[in-house]
A and B are shown apart, each in its own frame.
Chain A
Amino acid sequence: MRKLSLDNLNKFFAAVAESKTIYLPVDQKDGSAKYAKWAEGTEWSNALNTVRSPKDLFFPQTEDLMEFKTEGKNIEIIDIRKESEDFVIFGVRACDVKSFEVLDRVFLSEPVDSFYASRREHAIIVALACTRPSETCFCTTFGIDATEPAGDVSAWKTDSALYLKANTEKGEAFLKSIEALTEDADTAEVDAQKTKTAEIMKKLPLADLTTDAFGGGKTEELWNNPVWDEMSQTCLGCGTCTFVCPTCQCYDIKDFNTGNGVIRYRCWDSCMYSEFTRMAHGNNRLSQKERFRQRFMHKLVYYPENNEGLFSCVGCGRCLAKCPISMNIVKVMKKIGGDK
């Protein structure tokens, strides 16, 4: 394990930024935090997490896929892809690190999505252990250890230092590149922090939430549960939950006529929208009940069925904090799981 004095933090960012763009949580005027590029003077946020997940950095909210030039009856397709440059995502929480694994299984399965893959291959993820989990946190439900985040490098921040441990070859090379700023350290301070955080985790209001009622093979059992009808009644279909969700990856592909050609782009879409499945001959999910059921069944049943039991929720709690009618996956899990 290596140790970086917090006094050297800006030197560390500056040294890394010489060769790579660094994205890190930065406080916004409204008090929230979001991932932003580091530049001289940028302050690393103390917030527990960003409002939007870092999935934007691999799977942007909108991105151009290709361009077309048309002339009369003829079409020219222009491949506008550019290989990503190396970049660092700094301060990623354990839940969000896990979300990359969920996304990888979609975008990196054959046929590989080259847009996502290029960014993913060039990213170095520096994950940050949690010390002040919030009451909306439930990562432990999905077997995630917030005190021991994965990523290329795991980091622990204490009052005076940032402890760093490489988990991958990429991570080792990264630590090597900043070796001059760090020193060897024992794990005593980190271990103490982990124990303290683990105690807090145990007392969180959602600490007892389980996935027992869910998993692959439960479709038939859960399909006609009255919960879908009841709980979807208040759903506005606004899609906020899908947009802040680190694992939601449904997308739309659309064309934009620039007046001088056509740009085909993709953008995030949401299964909560009525348009999502609407076809010329009808819609296979007619009401919000079906769309509501789809979102939770996908995360808790269909996805694990196709991915060796891995759930498509990481317990980050963003949807709990942001849903305008306070509906969320925890309420669904509790209700179906038999809790009042």
Chain B
Amino acid sequence: MNMREETLIPKVGVITDVRIDTPDIKTFRVVTPDGKKAFDHRPGQCAMLSIPGVGEAMFSITSSPTNTEYMEFSIKKCGCVTEWLHQAEVGQQLTIRGPYGNPFPVDDVFAGKNMLFIAGGVGLAPLRSVINYCRHYRDRYGDIDIVYGSRSKDDLLDYKEIIDEWANDAGVNVHLTIDNPQQGWDGHVGFVPNYVKELNFDTNKTAVLCGPPIMIKFTLEGLCALGFDKTQIYTTLELRMKCGVGKCGRCNVGSKYVCKDGPVFRCDELDELPSEY
């Protein structure tokens, strides 16, 4: 059969590493069966992973495109596909297709800018790709501030990488916070939106937000109160998706499809969409 390419038909991938990040988040390393990256992507893009017979779901690619060997996905256990993945072992095959969606404008809009990354919980997963991209091309960007918060110390994703690598980079400032005081934690305690206000950032930055909807809402308000303009703030959305290419209709918000017109949006663009995301 010599037919045209079909995006809905995936490739086989294989899990080559499973890292336990938090009590409910694991990071899976995925390559093709011959050990290569399944496809190239840009920071902020997503991929459809599936387990035949269980289902298919969209995940952000957490590894940076500068990693040419493999892709990583940080996945929180919260539904059928994710629960199945969480019990999967190294060597398990799955299917993968993508990349989908628009990436963060790392090479044009972000170039030369001071970057402020703000994440809550598993919301760090899509931002890790951009953060590591900016770290890789460090001289292309100004100062980098990273504000990251989670419920507890144990719920901080990529904690080792943040402490051992990000925090040691010149010009990279990491600000961690957890919701409630905890033994063995001498860092900041409090919610991300409040911490962002306390940190009182200069507005000479481009901000990138990701986290639970409520965190995004209050952080956005906080940044605007600090004097940020919505054109300086980017976020990435998540809605239910099946096709990934704007045809199945599921992630339609106003005249946009989150899978193909997003998932990355500038916050002033979001204001033009009906509040249904």
Contacts and interface: CB of A to CB of B under 8 A. Distances in A.
Interface of A: 65-66, 68, 70, 73-77, 79, 81-83, 106-107, 109, 111-115, 117-118, 216, 219, 223, 249-255, 257, 262, 264, 266, 269, 271, 276-281, 284-285, 290, 294, 297-298, 301-302, 305-306
B258 to A, nearest CB: 10
A251 B243 contact: yes
A269 B89 CA distance: 34
Interface stretch (B1-9, B182-190, B192-200, B216-224): B1-9
Given A118-B3, A264-B52, A75 B95 contact: yes
Nearest to B9: A66
Interface in B81-117: 82, 89, 91-95
A271 B276 CA distance: 13
Interface of B: 1, 3-12, 50, 52-56, 78-79, 82, 89, 91-95, 212, 238-240, 242-243, 245-250, 252-255, 273-274, 276-277
The 9 closest A-B pairs by CB, nearest first: A250-B249, A68-B52, A280-B78, A280-B79, A262-B52, A305-B255, A75-B93, A114-B6, A262-B53
8 contacts: A65-B8, A77-B95, A106-B246, A114-B6, A251-B242, A255-B50, A266-B8, A279-B239
Nearest to A264: B52
A285 B8 contact: no
A210 to B, nearest CB: 21
Contact of B55 (A250, A255, A271, A284): A255
Contact of A81 (B1, B10, B247, B273): B1
B243 A269 contact: no
Contacts of B255: 216, 219, 301-302, 305-306
B74 to A, nearest CB: 15
Given A111-B7, A253-B8, A70 B247 contact: no
Given A66-B9, A73-B92, A77-B9, A294 B52 contact: no
User: In the complex, which of the residues B7, B8, B12, B277 has the most CB atoms of chain A within 10 Å of its own CB atom?
Assistant: B8
Contact of B1 (A77, A79, A266, A294): A79
Given A83-B3, A301-B255, A305-B255, 9 more contacts: A65-B9, A68-B52, A73-B89, A75-B93, A76-B12, A79-B3, A266-B8, A280-B79, A280-B82
Contacts of A254: 55
Contacts of B56: 253, 255, 264
B3 A81 contact: yes
A338 to B, nearest CB: 22
B181 to A, nearest CB: 26
B245 to A, nearest CB: 5
B52 A271 contact: no
Contacts of B89: 73
A257 B1 contact: no
Contacts of B243: 251, 253
B92 A113 contact: no
Contact of A279 (B1, B6, B240, B253): B240
A251 B3 contact: no
A261 to B, nearest CB: 8
A249 B247 CA distance: 8
A115 B247 CA distance: 13
B276 A250 contact: no
Contacts of A276: 240, 250
B250 A250 contact: yes
Contacts of A264: 52, 56
Contacts of A290: 276
A219 B274 CA distance: 7
Contacts of B6: 79, 81, 113-115
Given A75-B95, A277-B239, A223 B52 contact: no
Given A75-B94, A114-B3, A251-B243, A269 B248 contact: yes
B189 to A, nearest CB: 25
Contact of A257 (B53, B212, B249): B53
B272 to A, nearest CB: 8
A110 to B, nearest CB: 8
